[in-house]
C-alpha cells in the first residue's frame, strides 16, 4: 500500500472512531446521577480528559524526538518533534478552554488554581517558548539543535513544576475539589473510546504535518536545482 493509501485509511479510521465516540458520549453514556442542575455539562469530561492525555503524549514525543535528534542529527527527528509540538499546543489550548467551561458549570468559577490546570497552563507557556525558539533561529541546523535542547529542558521541568504547584496549593487550599467524578462502567467505556479516537486524530494530524514538511523540503530542493541551472 502506498503512503497516500495508508494516510487515507488512517483518516477514514479516525473519522469513524470520532463518530463512534460522539455517539457514545451523547447517546450511549448515561447522565451523572449526583449532579442536579445541568448534568449534561459533565459530557465535556470525555473531551477534556482525552485532549489532556494527547497533550502529554504530544509533548512526550517532542522529548523523544529531541533526544533522538541530538543523538543522530537526522532531520526526520527534528521534523517529528516540531510537528508534535505544534499539535500539542493545539490540544493544550483545548484543555485550557474546556477546563474553564467545565469549572464554570461545576464550581461556578471560570478558573481555579488547581494543580493540574495550572501545570497545563505552564506547559502551554513552555511549548509556546519552544515554538518561538524555532521561529527565531536563523539556520535550519541551528533551529533544530536549539529546539531539541529546549524540548529536553522543558519536558524535564514539568514534573518539578507539578510538584511545586501541588505543594503551593496545599498551603492555599481551594474550596473546590476536583478529582473523583465517579464513573459508571458505561461512562468508563465511553471515555476509553473517546481517548482512542482522539489519539487516532493526533496521529492523523502528525502524518499530515510530516507530509507538509516533506513537501516543503522537496520544493526547496527543486528551487535550488532551478537556481543552479540559471
Partner 1 sequence: MNQFLASVKAIVWKDLKAEFRTKEMLSSMLIFAFLVIVTFSFAFNPTLESIKQILPGIIWVAFLFSGILGLNRSFLSEHNNESIQGLMLAPVDRSAIYFGKVVSNFCLTTLIEAVSLPIFLILFDFNYSASWFWLTVVVVSGTFGFVAVGTFLAALASNTRSSEVLLPIILFPIIIPVVIGSVEMTKLLFAGGGLAEIATWLRVIAVFDVVFLVIPFLLFEYLLEA
Cell of 12: 477514514
Of 210, 188, 199, give the one whose Cα is nearest residue 14: 199
Stretch that binds partner 1, among 2-10, 47-55, 91-99, 148-156 (CB under 8 A): 148-156
> If binding is defined by CB under 8 A, does position 102 make contact with partner 1?
no
Nearer to partner 1, 14 or 66 (CB): 66
**Cβ-Cβ contacts under 8 Å for 62 (sequence gap 6 or more):** 81, 84, 85, 88, 127, 130, 151, 154, 155
DSSP 172: S
Nearer to partner 1, 44 or 164 (CB): 164
Taking residue 32's Cβ as centre, other Cβ atoms within 10 Å add up to 18
CB of 48 to partner 1, least distance (A): 22
CA 201 and chain centroid, separation:
11
Nearer to partner 1, 99 or 154 (CB): 154
Cα Rg, the chain, nearest whole Å = 21
Are the beta carbons of 87 and 59 closer than 8 angstroms?
Answer: no
DSSP run (H or E) holding 7:
helix 3-23
CB of 120 to partner 1, least distance (A): 12
Helix 44-72 × helix 140-171 angle, to 10°: 130
Total binding residues toward partner 1, as defined by CB under 8 A: 30
Nearer to partner 1, 41 or 164 (CB): 164
Are the beta carbons of 103 and 112 closer than 8 angstroms?
Answer: yes
> If binding is defined by CB under 8 A, does position 138 make contact with partner 1?
yes
Residues 22-61 touching partner 1, rule: CB under 8 A, are none
Angstrom distance (rounded) from CA 136 to CA 143: 8
Nearer to partner 1, 29 or 161 (CB): 161
Give the up-direction half-sphere exposure of residue 145: CA atoms within 13 A in the CB hemisphere: 7
Nearer to partner 1, 142 or 214 (CB): 142
Per-position x/- string for 157-186, each x denoting binding to partner 1 as judged by CB under 8 A, each - no binding: x--xx-xxx-xx--x---------------
Stretch that binds partner 1, among 40-48, 154-162, 181-189, 219-227 (CB under 8 A): 154-162
Which chain residues interact with partner 1 by CB under 8 A?
A: 70, 122, 125-126, 128-129, 132-133, 136-138, 142, 145-146, 148-150, 152-154, 156-157, 160-161, 163-165, 167-168, 171
Amino acid at each position: 500500500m502506498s503512503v497516500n493509501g495508508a494516510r487515507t485509511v488512517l483518516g477514514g479510521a479516525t473519522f469513524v472512531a470520532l463518530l463512534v465516540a460522539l455517539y457514545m458520549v451523547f447517546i450511549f453514556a448515561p447522565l451523572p446521577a449526583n449532579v442536579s442542575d445541568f448534568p449534561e455539562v459533565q459530557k465535556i469530561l470525555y473531551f477534556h480528559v482525552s485532549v489532556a492525555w494527547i497533550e502529554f503524549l504530544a509533548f512526550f514525543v517532542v522529548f523523544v524526538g529531541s533526544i533522538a535528534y541530538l543523538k543522530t542529527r537526522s532531520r526526520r527527528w527534528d521534523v517529528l518533534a516540531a510537528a508534535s509540538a505544534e499539535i500539542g499546543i493545539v490540544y493544550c489550548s483545548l484543555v485550557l478552554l474546556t477546563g474553564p467551561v467545565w469549572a464554570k458549570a461545576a464550581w461556578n468559577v471560570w478558573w481555579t488554581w488547581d494543580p493540574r490546570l495550572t501545570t497545563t497552563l505552564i506547559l502551554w507557556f513552555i511549548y509556546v517558548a519552544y515554538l518561538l525558539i524555532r521561529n527565531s533561529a536563523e539556520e535550519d541546523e541551528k533551529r533544530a539543535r536549539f529546539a531539541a535542547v529546549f524540548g529536553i529542558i522543558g519536558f524535564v521541568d514539568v514534573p518539578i513544576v507539578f510538584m511545586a504547584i501541588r505543594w503551593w496549593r496545599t498551603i492555599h487550599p481551594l474550596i473546590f475539589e476536583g478529582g473523583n467524578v465517579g464513573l459508571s462502567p458505561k461512562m468508563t467505556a465511553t471515555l476509553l473510546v473517546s481517548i482512542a479516537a482522539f489519539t487516532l486524530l493526533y496521529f492523523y494530524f502528525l502524518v499530515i504535518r510530516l507530509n507538509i514538511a516533506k513537501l516543503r523540503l522537496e520544493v526547496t530542493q527543486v528551487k535550488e536545482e532551478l537556481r543552479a541551472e540559471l
